[in-house]
Amino acid sequence: MKFETNFDKYDLSNVGKMEECYKKVEPLLYNSNILGVIEDLRYYKEKNVRNHTEDDLSSCNDKIFYPQEILDPYLGIKGWYDSKENTFYINSDAIKEPSFSKDYPTPLNFGGVGYTIAYEIVHAFDNKNYKLKLRGDYENKYNVTDWSIKNFQNRSDCFVEKYGMQNESITNKNINGTLTLNENIADNGGLKLAHRAYMKYLKEIGGKDIEVPAYNQYTDEQLFFISAGRKHCTYKSKDKLENQKKTDKHPPGEIRTNMALSYYKPFYDAFKCSYNRKMNLKGKDKCELWKNH
């Protein structure tokens, strides 16, 4: 797998350059209300035809008129895996607060940006990409047996079933376990990978990280899980959640967080969660695809 950065190559976060772009929009005024701004932009756009010979977002007009080309690849997504290129891309948003800071204690960074990186790596081995690799593996260089393929499918089916039983608290409706399968596999596998990386690091430095003032009541391992747990902390309206469950391959944040943590033994051991409670389910209620060896 290749690793690439996608750090704002069009200077979208360069305040000076963006202000220069918008200075060309007349009569856009600082104190205009939002409807006035939209109307001014529409008027300006009608006067200017996009030059399709230019590179995407390289011109001011592209940046102003086509925000949809900005929102996902440069502002909305911290990282993503490209299966065609077998490449993981990470954005500048992933390496700033609250995901990462040079001033953060190490467990918070491992549970933040570390979890993001691990999650994207595991996407190379989710239900969709695992099958793609096998389909092109005519020489069986991966040495995958028929039993392995069947076992993979059975374990994937467990995720479909168990996640499909999860009720989102605001809409009071279950999510689609099939639609969200690949994300659920990546969430669970990524948590294990990031945690194992942090515990390996902790062992290498002698088993004790730097103390965090005001958080002395937590162990280093607990701080890792607290950081991982806040990764999907969001607030969405009921309408947004209704639409998300119908169309989005990502389950709502509360389900992503609680399911991945409650399936992972080191988490409930670290917090001493009582057996057969919400965050420490019975064995028959848990799913595991990639083993934690």
3-state secondary structure of 39: helix
Query: Would you say residue 15 has pLDDT above 70?
Result: yes
pTM here is 0.78
Active centre residues (catalytic): 120, 187
- Grade residue 251 by pLDDT with cuts at 50, 70 and 90: very high
Query: Would you say residue 239 has pLDDT above 90?
Result: yes
Contact between 173 and 167 (Cβ < 8 Å): yes
Residues of the chain with CATH 3.40.390.10: 77-285
Least confident among 22-36, 192-206, 271-285? 22-36
Tell me the C-alpha distance between 225 and 255, whole Å.
15
Superfamily of segment(s) 77-285: Collagenase (Catalytic Domain) (3.40.390.10)
Query: Average pLDDT in the 82-109 region?
Result: 86
DSSP state of 112: I
C-alpha distances in Å from residue 268, one per residue of 31, 199, 263, 264, 290: 52, 16, 9, 7, 18
Report the pLDDT value the prediction gives residue 293, as an integer from 0 to 100: 52
- Grade residue 117 by pLDDT with cuts at 50, 70 and 90: very high
280 or 68, which is more confident?
Answer: 280
Query: Would you say residue 107 has pLDDT above 70?
Result: yes
Query: Average pLDDT in the 63-76 region?
Result: 63
Query: Average pLDDT in the 184-207 region?
Result: 95
